[in-house]
Structures are given as structure tokens and as C-alpha cells.
Amino acid sequence: MKPIYFIVGAIAFIGLLVYLTMGQKRYRAEVCMAYAGRTDCRTASAATKQQAQRTATDNACALIASGMTDSIACSNTPPTSIKWLD
């Protein structure tokens, strides 16, 4: 009888994870960044527009900047474009 409790618990846990990761994200942004002669565009989702834009910016800068100082400088650079997705 115990294996059935484990299976039901696992299904409930997976359902909760899916709900928490997918249900809260209402805004999607594609942000393009240019820094040190390199460019990259990344998409991110979040509960607020500001969080979505910041996450996409940080993800793009992670690929085009090297080191913490460059990453911070890149993140503080205005995006070359921001596109709000459905």
C-alpha cells in the first residue's frame, strides 16, 4: 500500500512545481544587448515587466561580457531593443 502513497505524492509534487514555475510568469521579454563589440538577444519570463526585462538583460550579458565587472557594466547599458511577447 505504501508505493501508492509515494506515487500520489510524487505526482502532486511535480504538479506543484509546474504550477509554481509556469503559473506566475505573466510577462515575456526579448532583450537585445550590445557590449564590447558583441551582441546577443535573450528571452525571459517573470511576474512583472521589470523582472522579465532584468532577467533577459542579465542572461544576454552573461554571454557577451567576461568577468563580474564587465557583466555589471553590460547590465547597466541600455538595451539595443526590447520586444514584449505574448
Give the integer Cα–Cα distance in Å for 72 and 10.
Answer: 40
The per-residue pLDDT for 14 is 83
The percent of residues in the chain predicted with pLDDT above 70, rounded, is 91
Give the integer Cα–Cα distance in Å for 57 and 35.
Answer: 11
Please compute the mean of the pLDDT values over residues 40-45 and round it to a whole number: 95
Q: Note the pTM of the prediction, 2 decimals.
A: 0.72
